[in-house]
């Protein structure tokens, strides 16, 4: 994964934590709706000024966007449990089947 993609994932992570939609974030920083979508998948790379605006709105430091955690230190269990709890029963079963197939 390249830096643009990692940066995009960080923006998405912080945006979701603040419960802000892509459309709302785009409106708040003065860009079109598609810009945020493309940013989050690594197709757009923001200027420093735009990134500063995003950081201000999401209440994070600019440097936080570049703190890429190595996957070996990530707590996948708690993330999976959090995702699982948000799924419908049908999707929980699907996740269970996928996980069982990995064994």
Alpha helices by DSSP H, listed for the chain, are 3-17, 22-29, 33-40, 48-58, 76-86, 89-102
pLDDT digits (tens, 9 = 90+) for 36-55: 999 999 999 999 999 999 99
Task: Identify the structural domains of the chain with CATH numbers, from first to last.
Answer: 3-66 (1.10.260.40), 71-102 (no CATH)
Average pLDDT score over residue span 52-59: 96
pTM of the complete model: 0.65
Contact 35, 44 (CB under 8 A): yes
Would you say 7 and 45 are in contact if contact means Cβ atoms under 8 Å apart? yes
Chain segment 8-33, per-residue pLDDT in tens: 999 999 999 999 999 999 999 999 98
């Amino acid at each position: 994964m390249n830096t643009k993609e990692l940066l995009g994932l960080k923006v998405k992570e912080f945006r979701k934590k603040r419960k802000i939609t892509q459309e709302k974030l785009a409106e708040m920083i003065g860009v079109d709706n598609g810009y945020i979508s493309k940013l989050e998948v690594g197709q757009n790379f923001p200027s420093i000024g735009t990134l500063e605006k995003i950081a201000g709105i999401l209440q994070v430091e600019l440097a936080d966007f570049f703190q890429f955690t190595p996957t070996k230190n990530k707590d996948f269990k708690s993330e999976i449990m959090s995702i699982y709890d948000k799924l419908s029963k049908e999707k929980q079963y699907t996740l269970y089947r996928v996980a069982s197939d990995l064994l």
